[in-house]
Amino acid sequence: MSTIVSPMQFTSEDLDLLVNTVDSLIVITDSGGVVCDMNRTCARLTDFRESDVVGENFAEVFLIPAERETVHKQLQRVGPDMRRVTFESSLLTRSGRRLRINWSCVHLTSSNPLAPNLALTGTDVTQYNAALERLEQQQREIDTLQQQLAETRQKLKSAQPIIVERRKNGRYEYAHSQLVAPVRNQANRKALVFRRVECKDVSANGFSFVSNTKPDYTELVVMLGKGDYIIRLVAKVAHVSRTTIDGKYKFLVGCRYVERHQSNN
């Protein structure tokens, strides 16, 4: 985007003061881009002496070949109507080091038709651009990790729990409802309150059932069987694991038989 600026008249003394006291790169050229002067900051950052660049084409001395045509077109836009153009380009130092420079170019007016008429002011943004690139890379890495985390959470949410086999003897599927009564204390042993639960499997050493809540007890009495054959067994809670059934979180309670309940005849 071009910006109209007011005309700038200058003397040779003004020009010397301008180019040698600011902390930005300044290069003065004629309308064809031939370098007429540069300031001390430019010499310090580029390692070029004044004799190396004065009389040489700005683009040929300072720019990489891939950007010369583009910059040349930018400079052609600057004219007596005082339009300012800004652009960014790479700059090659005398040692071959590459800097990234943000340029601003304005047209200088003078009563002397042979006087230089383009002033390029440059700011070194090499470190700024490198830091910005590192931040953008870090943000891309964070976005990737967040996406991976979201995908992992979704997989864990839909995955079936891994059941580790804890019984020495084989277990058998036993998808039947049975009665269990938690034993929380000695008084509770004499007044058992049974409730119906859905069993998952059974073996010679224990059984498991599904509970909506995590058990707050470690012992229970279970009534296994049906019809005329019912056996009461005392069991200890051996393990509790979270599971998902029909999209709802529940608890799989694994129990180990301890003894027959004394009410068995």
Are 33 and 121 part of one and the same domain?
Answer: yes
Q: What pLDDT is attached to residue 198?
A: 92
Q: Is residue 160 part of a domain?
A: no
Are 207 and 102 part of one and the same domain?
Answer: no
Domain interval for residue 110: 3-130
Q: Is residue 97 part of a domain?
A: yes
In one letter, which amino acid is 69? Answer: E
Which of 99-103, 154-158, 231-235, 236-240 is least confident? 154-158
Are 97 and 205 part of one and the same domain?
Answer: no
pLDDT for 204 beyond 50: yes
Q: Which tops the pLDDT comparison, 236 or 115?
A: 236
Are 27 and 121 part of one and the same domain?
Answer: yes
Q: Is residue 20 part of a domain?
A: yes
Report the CATH number at residue 177.
Answer: 2.40.10.220
Tell me how crowded residue 44 is: count the other CB atoms within 10 A of its CB: 10
Give residue 12's pLDDT band: very low, low, confident or very high (50, 70, 90): low
pLDDT for 28 beyond 50: yes
Query: What is the percentage of the chain residues whose pLDDT exceeds 90?
Result: 22
Across residues 43-55, what is the average pLDDT? 90
54-84 pLDDT, tens digit per residue, is: 999 888 889 899 998 888 888 888 876 657 8
Q: Where are the beta strands (DSSP E) in the chain?
A: 3-4, 25-29, 35-38, 83-92, 98-107, 118-124, 171-173, 177-183, 195-203, 206-211, 219-226, 229-245, 248-260
Q: Please state the pTM of the whole predicted model.
A: 0.45
Last residue of a domain, one of 75, 108, 130: 130
Q: What pLDDT is attached to residue 4?
A: 47
Q: How many helices (H) and strands (E) does the chain have?
A: 7, 13
Are 11 and 112 part of one and the same domain?
Answer: yes
Are 109 and 181 part of one and the same domain?
Answer: no
Q: What pLDDT is attached to residue 213?
A: 92
Q: What pLDDT is attached to residue 5?
A: 46
Long-range contacts of 140-143 (CB under 8 A, 24+ apart): none
SS3 string, 61-101, reads: HHCCHHHHHHHHHHHHCCCCCCEEEEEEEEEECCCCCEEEE
Q: Which residues of 188-211 are buried (b: 16+ CB within 10 A; e: fewer)?
A: eeeebeeeebebbbbbeebbbbee
Which of 1-15, 181-195, 212-226, 241-255 is least confident? 1-15
Contact (CB, 8 A) for 260 and 232:
yes
Q: Is residue 154 part of a domain?
A: no
Mean pLDDT of the chain: 82
Q: Is residue 239 part of a domain?
A: yes
Are 118 and 9 part of one and the same domain?
Answer: yes
Are 120 and 36 part of one and the same domain?
Answer: yes
Q: Is residue 36 part of a domain?
A: yes
Are 102 and 210 part of one and the same domain?
Answer: no
Q: What pLDDT is attached to residue 18?
A: 60
Report the CATH number at residue 12.
Answer: 3.30.450.20
Contact (CB, 8 A) for 176 and 193:
no
> Closest by alpha carbon to 263, among 209, 182, 192?
192
pLDDT for 90 beyond 50: yes
119-152 pLDDT, tens digit per residue, is: 888 888 888 888 888 888 888 888 888 888 888 7
Residue with tokens 């938690």: 182
pLDDT for 1 beyond 60: no
Q: What pLDDT is attached to residue 113?
A: 59
Are 120 and 178 part of one and the same domain?
Answer: no
Q: Is residue 25 part of a domain?
A: yes
Are 9 and 96 part of one and the same domain?
Answer: yes
Are 216 and 109 part of one and the same domain?
Answer: no
> Closest by alpha carbon to 211, among 174, 168, 172, 182?
182
Q: Is residue 192 part of a domain?
A: yes
Count of domains forming the chain: 2
Last residue of a domain, one of 98, 130, 162: 130
> Closest by alpha carbon to 109, among 99, 100, 119?
119
Give residue 2's pLDDT band: very low, low, confident or very high (50, 70, 90): very low
